[in-house]
Every structure is written in structure tokens, then in C-alpha cells.
Structure 1
Amino acid sequence: MAKKMNVESFNLDHTKVKAPYVRLVGVTEGHNGDTIHKYDIRFKQPNQAYMNMDALHSIEHLMAENIRNHLDNVVDISPMGCQTGFYLAVLNHDNYEDILNALEKTFNDVLQADEVPACNEVQCGWAANHSLDGAKELAQEMLNHKDEWQDVFGDEK
């Protein structure tokens, strides 16, 4: 048996998951009773596919800006280094259905976008590396598989 790691995702068998999905990774409680719920929003099948960096970068900007219009208390939404998904951290909000609904609305916002927010040298650290079309393709792929988001391991029949 492999040694238990400190990072939750390092303990996940990436060969057993079936992307795309949205799963609760964990809940962290603060000293004052606040909780942070962390979600794995997996776009691509681990070790088989990945998001191109310009598309990933653009959908990151679009999701970061737009999800806050649909969901209160977003702490952060950030890409995974493996380029297969994102982590979403939300403060004091534990309703999984709300998360799914906010993501659906956010992906629809991406499809309607005519520009990538903060895509300039003042507001972005790599402004030349964006693809609005690529971001839209990623959003559409996720929406096409919305009915599978809750089925992390492909067990649903």
C-alpha cells in the first residue's frame, strides 16, 4: 500500500477517475468555525489528455471573473499544474448542487464572452498567451457532459 500523502489529490488513484467531473476534495474548518470547501473540477482525463495552456489560461480568467456572479464566497479558482482541471475553494458554502449550477452558468458565460477579462500586460502576467476560442471549446466540452459531472469514477449506470 502506498504511503498516505499530505495532499489529498496525491492519494487519489488517477487511473480510476473518469473525467469530466466535479468532486468535493475536502472541507477545512478554521479556528472560528468557518469552513472552506474545495472542489476538483476535472476537465480532462488524467494522463490521457490536457488543456492547452492558452485555452487553460483564458478559461481561468473567464471562470475567475464570472463564477463570482453566480456564487458567493468564492475564495479561489486555480488551475492544476497537470493541466487537467481546476480547484475551486468556497467559504461557508456546502451545497454541491449550488456549485454545479454556478459552474453551468459560468461555462455559459464563457460561451457568450467576446473577450478574455484582464487580458493585457497591466493585469496579466502572460497576456500574450490566451485563446478565447480555446476557452469556449473547453466550456462547451464541459457543458456537453454536464450529466456526468457527479459520476467521478464512471460507476453510474
Structure 2
Amino acid sequence: MNRIASFTVDHNKLAPGLYYSRRDGDVVTFDLRFKKPNTGDLLTNAEMHSAEHLIATLLRNSGDKEAVIYFGPMGCQTGFYFLFDNRLLSCEGAITLLQEVFTAAASFSGEMPGKSPAECGNYINLDLETGKAVCRFYAELIAGWTVEKLAY
């Protein structure tokens, strides 16, 4: 059985950042890593969930929303996957979009998107300030990111 590409990356050495994971036809997957190497520091459920609601909402309301296929958490809680249509958005454009939405999320005002029992099956652990803090960390981390830095 073939190993999937992300299992070939040494997670003990992988620094937080934004990485090009794979391309499947016109769909490109970016790997957004938050975990610090060798520390075991994972995002908590509340951190992941809160950041996910903010970023997914902002991506799907952006000028590039037609290119957005998916944004969601990794099961291992080390980050998120962002899938986009490369016919509609270049890798450079995707980096810029992520920089913009994480910066916007870090200063988001208003109600936490999707924080109700009707909108989310686990709305209880959503917290706006927690989500903003995670997004602020990542916005600062990827502020100067370039296509050349996308390699694992």
C-alpha cells in the first residue's frame, strides 16, 4: 500500500507554516501547520473549531469564494487543509487570500459565525476570542510567506 504524502513528512521537524501538499487535477491542497516541532503542542478542540468557523466564513465570503473548495481541520489537530480550484486562483493568489482572511479574522468583530445549535453540532466550544488569538498567531506567521516557502 502506498503511503500518503503527508505521512512522509517528519512531523518532529515540521515547523508551523503554509505548505503545498498536493495537486489533484485542478484542485490544489495547502497544508496549514500550527504545531510546534517536538513540543506536542496541538491546537485544542476549541482553538481549532473557533478558527475554522472564522476562516471558513471569511473564505466563503471573499472575492475568491468561487475558487474555495474546502477549508477544514486535520484530524491530528496540527492544522488545517485548504483546497482551491487552481483554474480560478493561483498559488500566489491563495497565499494572499489566506494572509488577508487570517488578518481579518484576528480582528473580527461581531458574533462568532455559526454559534448556535441550529448551525453547528458542537457550538458549545466556539469562542470568538480564542479563534481570534489563533488567527492572529497564524496571520503573523504567514505575513511574508511566498510561493518559494511552500515546500515542506
Q: State whether TM-score is above 0.5.
A: yes
Is 2:68 aligned against 1:74?
yes
Query: SS of the counterpart of 1:62?
Result: helix
Match in the other structure for 2:7: 10
Measured after TM superposition, the shift of residue 27 of structure 1 is 0.5
Measured after TM superposition, the shift of residue 47 of structure 1 is 5.1
- Matches of 1:38 and 1:127, distance apart in 2: 27
Please point out which of 97, 100, 114 is paired with 2:92: 97
Deviations 1:12-40 (A, max 9, x none): 11123211x111111002xxxxx110010
- Matches of 2:38 and 2:63, distance apart in 1: 31
Measured after TM superposition, the shift of residue 112 of structure 1 is 2.0
- Matches of 1:129 and 1:65, distance apart in 2: 17
- Matches of 2:30 and 2:151, distance apart in 1: 15
What percentage of residue pairs aligned between the two structures are identical?
28
Return the letter of the residue paired with 1:128.
I
Which shows bigger deviation, 47-56 or 77-86? 47-56
Match in the other structure for 2:128: 132
- Matches of 1:108 and 1:147, distance apart in 2: 9
Measured after TM superposition, the shift of residue 97 of structure 1 is 1.7
Which shows bigger deviation, 143-152 or 49-58? 143-152
Match in the other structure for 1:44: 35
Is 2:137 aligned against 1:146?
no
Return the letter of the residue paired with 2:111.
E
Match in the other structure for 1:83: 77
Return the letter of the residue paired with 1:91.
D
- Any conservation in 2 of the 1:51–1:84 contact (CA below 8 Å)? yes
Q: Could you say what the CA RMSD is over the residues aligned between the two structures, in angstroms? A: 2.2
- Matches of 2:104 and 2:77, distance apart in 1: 21
For structure 2, the residue ranges without an aligned partner over 5 or more in a row are none
Q: Return the TM-score normalized by structure 2.
A: 0.84
For structure 1, the residue ranges without an aligned partner over 5 or more in a row are 30-34
Match in the other structure for 2:104: 109
- Any conservation in 2 of the 1:70–1:102 contact (CA below 8 Å)? no
- With over 3 angstroms needed to count, the CA separation of the structure-2 counterparts of 1:135 and 1:146, relative to structure 1, is same
Which is helix-richer, 1 or 2? 2
- With over 3 angstroms needed to count, the CA separation of the structure-2 counterparts of 1:52 and 1:132, relative to structure 1, is same
- With over 3 angstroms needed to count, the CA separation of the structure-2 counterparts of 1:153 and 1:27, relative to structure 1, is closer
- Any conservation in 2 of the 1:50–1:83 contact (CA below 8 Å)? yes
Match in the other structure for 1:118: 114
